[in-house]
Amino acid sequence: MSKLKGLGGERKKKVLAKLGEFGKAIVQDFERGIPPRLKIPSRGTSNIVYDERHRYYVLGPAYGIRSAASMTQVKKLAQTLCVADFCRQLVNSGKFATLREMYYTAEGWETGPFYDQEESNILVEDLEAIFGLKREDLGLMPEEDGAAVFGEIVLKEDNSVIDATKAGRGGYTIPPTIDEVEFVKCKAKRVIAIETMGMYHRFVQERAWKRFNALIVGLKGQAARATRRFIKRVNEELGLPVYLFTDGDPFGFHIAMVIISGSAKLAYINHELAVPDAKYIGVTASDITNYKLPTDKLRELDVARLKQLQKDPRYNTEFWQREIKKMIELGKKAEQQAFAKYGLEYVVKEYLPAKLREVEGEKFINP
């Protein structure tokens, strides 16, 4: 396979161009004697719409104005510009900072410090929405650890070439800076993303990556943005189909759907994260009865959440409506680990091959 390029250089140019245009617009307002103002896309629920064509949430046309002409807004406008300049310096230098570090850096800004970190985080989200970029593109990253991937893919991170099958028992840790990573070589034919790290390690132990010729991705619960971006990249750049294996409960369904269709909260960057063609192969209500799985009783919270999902446009398909309705009728939920009833190897040797045959049909080669 020929060398697969990363997107780091191109993205850096794009980010710097957007930041440059942003700064020029402010300077031009000053030169014209006009109080600088920013148009900030509204992230309120009334401006978040489900895009049927792209199959994920996007922002609508509504926006707010932040203007230096308003005494109540001038400080926030100035802080927004300071955040943008801080990001420009980071991108220019090729360095990264955590959101927490930026919050403390602001203590030395002439605008004065933020009241709390939530206030500074919101301004970062404002810039993401204005530019249609992720905070990682702006040189900012969260504090959380990355998830992991195991399988036959070779990556180049900085000056290191890493084989994900030789990166230790835990596999390759997906960094927040995943867009800076190059895909050098990949022999895998599919991606299987798994909700729990316990099940991820089971798949690694049972060599599921080899059996299914797959990249096995451990999500660590609700997937971090870097994990979702990695899955998006291997899907688009390497053409790998994506399969999602989560618990059979409303929160497992939600974890899978956020990868498929994005979240309402991140409607302004779902185009960078959502994988609309990803398929769910996790535990369903039908599996609970067909496999006679050990279960837990649905709590009131679970039932309420399932009823919310029934009304969510992302779940408006025959499959999801049927399985959600059946789960409510059963009053039961089941975890991925429930298949251990039949032995530790059962989920890899029996359940997953059956699920993959369902979604891939004749293309699936029985391992």
Catalytic residues: 104
- Encoded tokens for 135: 């905070």
- For 122, other C-beta atoms within 10 Å of its C-beta total 13
- For 29, other C-beta atoms within 10 Å of its C-beta total 16
- Encoded tokens for 88: 């420009």
Contacts of residue 21, Cβ cutoff 8 Å, sequence gap at least 6: none
Residue with tokens 């990355």, as numbered in its chain: 146
Determine the straight-line distance between the first and last CA of the chain, rounded to whole angstroms.
Answer: 23
Residue with tokens 């990166």, as numbered in its chain: 167
Dihedral sign, Cα of residue 255, residue 318, residue 277, residue 129: negative
Residue with tokens 């140019």, as numbered in its chain: 13
- Encoded tokens for 293: 């799985």
**Which uninterrupted H or E stretch holds 160?**
strand 160-163
Collapsing DSSP to helix, strand or coil, 169 comes out as coil
